[in-house]
Amino acid sequence: MGESREILEAPLWQPPSLIPVLPERPLPEQVDVLIVGGGYTGLAAARETASAGLDTLVLEAGPLGTGCSGRNGGQVAYSFKPSFADLSSRHGAARAHAICREAFAAISHLRALARVEDFDWRECGGFYGAHTARHFEVMAREAQSQPSGLEQRIEVVPRSEQHREIASDFYHGGCVYPDDASVDPMKLLLALLRRAQERGAAVQDRCRVQALDTSSAGFDVLTSRGIVRARKVLMATNGYSGALSGWHRRRVIPIGSYQIATESLGLERVRSLIPMGRNISDTRRVVVYYRPSADGERIVFGGRAALAERDPLACVVRLRSMMARIFPELSRVAIDHAWVGWVAYTFDTMPHLGKRGELYHCMGYCGQGVPLAPYFGMRIGQQMAGLAEGQTALDGLPFPTRPYYFGYPWFLAPSVWAYRTLDALGL
């Protein structure tokens, strides 16, 4: 079934009609703020700097939606990878508490934005499946002993009841996070674009920044359409941070995340597989994430199907078999869309924002940027404008790198191989 059907190599949420072609305007000779990257981070920052009266120009190398912000899974959840205990051992309990509160603030920010902008915000909740009985015990215990002041609503679902969440015996029970949500990634990007433009920020797509040279007044920014002088520059390039700045490139690890959308299965069939319509993920180290499409007709399934494969079509078979391990009845289902994007991991699995001189950065969301990037983008924009509300509990955290890392993650292949082995052994 469906093997010879054509697969569209584009995100389900990027029908060509939705991608605006921004009118090409002459670039200004000089701006106060130049933002490299037109994803959630760059556009959210631009609204703040433009609101503060700073002449702001956003340059995006590709068409809008080229980066992760147009290609993600649209899942919104509490988003820092390190636990409170990990953060406490690194930074002390008080700072760790403040850091964790920032992740909650990011979700509240997006929820508030959804009240004034339409990007298909749905409070569908999330189900996290336990890959082993031991994982279930740990997650159930942690749900009962959340750090004080950082409690989330969590419902523990034993294996005997998990069919109310998912028609699969793949998991050993799990936890429901009723406050998790989903968005339409591209509509969120377009909302942030509108909000930046309405405050006067100029946004140009298909214009790559090729070099940044420091000058007495800030930067001479060489672009594919000429030179712009800028007082301040923001690197909002996340997993697409290339050779432009070696310092940043040495601190983010680009990792491919791959997704497929099934053919239309029909509302009833999708509902029979994921009855509550929630986002789903699980406790394996090599992560998978999936959910019903917004119209409820398809399943959108994503995960680390490869390490550096740039052709998403090459990963379809693997992703579909990962999906079929959970839903065996989908083993021969046709796939209509396949796509890939590059998320940015960091060596401490935390996002980072800050500056070196007048070169600012905000990046490294470790695959969790749907809530984090619009929020920290806003905060770095406020910092660039010198506003006190831009301060965050993450400010000043060292942004680590590793010896012999220059942007090519040579260590990923052995790590992912080891993680897959540990997952397969149920450890």
SS3 419: helix
Quote the tokens at residue 333: 């289902």
Task: State the CB neighbour count (10 A cutoff) for residue 359.
Answer: 20
Bridge partners (DSSP) of residue 282 are 129
Rounded least distance, CB 34 to ligand FAD, Å: 10
136 versus 376: smaller Cβ distance to ligand FAD? 376
Are residues 378 and 109 in contact, defined by beta-carbon separation less than 8 angstroms? yes
- At residue 167, what is the residue type? A
Q: Return residues touching ligand FAD (CB under 6 A).
A: 36-42, 59-62, 66-69, 71-75, 208-209, 236-240, 242, 244, 257, 259, 289, 302, 341, 343, 363, 365, 367-371, 373
DSSP of 328-342:
GGGTT--EEEEEEEE
Which 8-state DSSP code applies to residue 99? H
Nearer to ligand FAD, 88 or 238 (CB): 238
CB 137, min distance to ligand FAD, A: 27
| Amino acid at the residue 170 | F
Token match 């939606």: residue?
Answer: 65
In the complex, minimum distance from the CB of residue 373 to ligand FAD, in angstroms, rounded to a whole number: 4
Q: How many C-beta atoms lie closer than 10 Å to residue 127's C-beta?
A: 26
**Residues sharing a CB contact under 8 Å with residue 59, sequence separation 6 or more, in sequence order:** 34, 35, 36, 37, 38, 204, 207, 208, 209, 223
Other Cβ atoms closer than 10 A to 154: 18
Separation between Cα atoms, residue 391 and residue 287, nearest integer Å: 32
Nearer to ligand FAD, 154 or 189 (CB): 189
Q: How far is the CB of 79 from ligand FAD (least distance, A)?
A: 6
Residue 84 or residue 376: which is nearer to ligand FAD going by CB?
376
Show the beta-strand stretches assigned E in 47-192: 56-59, 75-76, 126-129, 155-157, 174-177, 181-182
- Measured CA to CA, the distance from residue 267 to residue 13 in angstroms comes to 18
Closest separation in Å from C-beta 182 to ligand FAD: 8
Q: Minimum distance from CB of 364 to ligand FAD (Å)?
A: 9
What is the closest distance, in whole angstroms, from the C-beta atom of residue 104 to ligand FAD in the complex? 14
Nearer to ligand FAD, 22 or 244 (CB): 244
The b-or-e profile of 158-175 (16+ CB within 10 A means b, else e) is eeeebeebbebeebbbbb
Name the residue with tokens 């996290």. Answer: 128
Closer residue to ligand FAD (CB): 172 or 180? 180
Would you say 174 or 377 has its CB closer to ligand FAD? Answer: 377
Minimum Å distance from CB 273 to ligand FAD? 19
Nearest Cα to Cα of residue 373 among 11, 14, 39, 37: 39
The CB-nearest residue to ligand FAD is 369
Distance CA 256, CA 268 (A): 32
Kindly tell me which of 140 and 227 has the beta carbon lying closer to ligand FAD: 227
CB of 196 to ligand FAD, least distance (A): 12
> What is the pairing mode between strands 226-235 and 359-363?
parallel
Nearest CB to ligand FAD, comparing residues 34 and 172: 34
Q: How far is the CB of 238 from ligand FAD (least distance, A)?
A: 3
The residue (of 65 and 174) whose beta carbon lies closer to ligand FAD is 65
